[in-house]
Amino acid sequence: MTLNAEQLSELMGAANPGGGLGERMGIELVEASPERVVGRMPVDGNTQPYGLLHGGASCVLAETLGSVGSALIAGEGRIAVGIEISATHHRAATEGHITGTATPVHAGRTLATWDIEITRDDGKRVCTSRLTCMLRDA
C-alpha cells in the first residue's frame, strides 16, 4: 500500500514527513510504502565549495527515505530512529536533481535495514547508501 502525502504526514506526526532538515534541503517524497520509498532533492543549494553535491546531502536524502520507510514498517504508535548509515560516493552531481530509491533489506520487529540508490537526472549512480533504523514504541 502506497501512502499519499497527507497519510504520511499523519503517520510521521509532522507537516513534512522529511522533517525540518528535509524541507530546508528541498526533499520531495515521490512514493512511499513499506516496500519502496522514492524521493528527490535539488543539487542547487546542497553543494560543497567546489560546486559539487555535498556527500552529506546524499546521506540526508538516504536517511530521510529509509527513515520514512522504517516508520511505515513500524506502524502506528511506534517510531523509527536511525542507528547506522554508510555511504559510498561514486560520482559527482553538479546540477538538476538527485533521486533516491530505498528498498528494504530487512524488515523486522525491532530493526529495519534499507539499501538506498541515489542517481542523477541522467540515471547515473551518485551514491549507494545503507541505513539501519531501530523500531520502538513512541
Measure CA 58 to chain center. 9
- Kindly state the cell numbers that stand for 25: 534541503
Active site residue: 28, 63, 84, 95, which one? 63
Residue 82 burial class via C-beta count within 10 angstroms: exposed 0-12, middle 13-18, buried 19 and up: middle
Give the amino acid at 37. Answer: V
Annotated active-site residue 95? The verdict is no
Compute the C-alpha angle 13/15/135, nearest 5°.
35
Residue pair 68/13 in contact (Cβ under 8 Å)? The answer is no
Instruction: Catalogue the active-site residues.
Output: 63
